[in-house]
Amino acid sequence: MIIWLMGISGAGKTTLGRKLEAFYKKKGYRTYLLDGDEVRQLFENDLGYTDDDREANIKRIILGAYLLDRNDIIGIICNISPFQHLRNLAKRKIAGYNEIYLKKNIQISIQNDVKGIYKENIGKTDIVGLGQRFDEPVNCDLCIEVDKMTEEESFQMIKDYIAAKYGEGYDE
């Protein structure tokens, strides 16, 4: 299965992804967390942040997710994934694709700015959700309004969704 966590910078994708990875590894599942930044680094940051560059990077991530899924590894993908057409591609190509949208208010993300993304880039470059497009998901499997709940509640929602879909062995 692929658990694709998507949303703007600061939504909690990597934080929740790491928790999921640890949870499933502890249960004995082969699991791998693939972060969009990791893919960029692997290719020596050869892509920028234009729409075309983001699209190329996401296609690389889709390939990685596809290979994880084909090899029975729980893939946890953490990526902004701003383009609906690429989310649709992933859904068509990856049998075990599960799209989880971490919906976050951009003003709260700017205020908290955990990674310094907003502080370092506002006024210098477009940011997804601020000047750069973000297509609201039209058919995600689960939408979590992360501003309205704790990290633990969000984590539990994801575990509950996976357990309901895949059955025993994926829950507590």
Whole-angstrom CA distances from 158 to 63, 95, 102, 110, 141 are 23, 19, 10, 25, 10
Secondary structure E strands in 7-141:
31-35, 74-78, 97-103, 127-128, 131-132
Ramachandran class of 131: left when φ > 0, alpha when ψ lies in -120 to 50, beta otherwise: left
- Report the C-alpha dihedral over residues 83, 85, 90, 93, rounded to 10 degrees: -170
DSSP string, 44-82: TT---SSHHHHHHHHHHHHHHHHHHHHTT-EEEEE----
Q: Which of the following is catalytic: 9, 81, 109, 154?
A: 81
Question: Is 9 labeled as catalytic in the residue annotation?
Answer: no
**Residues with a known catalytic role:** 81
